[in-house]
């Protein structure tokens, strides 16, 4: 079963959604297996990175700004940079589940990245037990 939750996002930014994903894993009752987190949006992405120092998030956003400069893009909606940044991050991550818990590294967190907000966005979490 797919658990869904929603996030209200800023115009551009990254939000730590680790706690919400942990809640979805707990609700799944999967002891050992895999948690797949998917973002069904073309101008938002998801990533796993350090959650101890907030400057890391600022550096990721600054790095993406540098990688995706303002150009005369052809897309008529004017948000091509958001599409490119979302493509660079990707739309899903998978995390092992061990003993009913996400198996993340000590400093790792799961981040929702918004590149074309503010919006109300959907996050889908699907947990499967080991076969």
DSSP line for 43-78: SEEEEEEE-S-HHHHHHHHHHHHHHS-------TTS
pLDDT digits (tens, 9 = 90+) for 7-34: 999 999 999 999 999 999 999 999 999 9
Structural domains of the chain, with CATH = 2-129 (2.60.120.460)
| 1 pLDDT more than 90 | no
Task: Provide the pLDDT for residue 131.
Answer: 67
- Does an H or E element contain 13, and which? strand 13-16
Task: Provide the pLDDT for residue 130.
Answer: 82
Percent of the chain with pLDDT over 90: 95
| 129 pLDDT more than 90 | yes
- Mean predicted confidence (pLDDT) in 95-106: 97
Which one-letter DSSP state was computed for residue 94? E
Residue identified by tokens 């004017």 is: 78
């Amino acid at each position: 079963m797919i658990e869904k939750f929603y996030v209200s996002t800023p115009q551009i930014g990254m939000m730590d959604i680790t706690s919400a994903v942990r809640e979805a894993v707990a609700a799944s009752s999967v002891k050992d297996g895999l948690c797949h987190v998917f973002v069904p949006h073309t101008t938002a992405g998801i990533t796993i990175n350090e959650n101890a120092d907030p400057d890391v998030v600022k550096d990721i956003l600054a790095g993406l700004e540098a990688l995706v400069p303002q150009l005369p893009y052809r897309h008529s909606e004017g948000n091509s940079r958001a599409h490119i940044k979302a493509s660079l991050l990707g739309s899903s991550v998978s995390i092992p589940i061990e003993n009913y818990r996400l198996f993340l590294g000590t400093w790792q967190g799961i981040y929702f990245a918004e590149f074309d907000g503010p919006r109300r966005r959907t996050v889908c979490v699907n947990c499967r037990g080991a076969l």
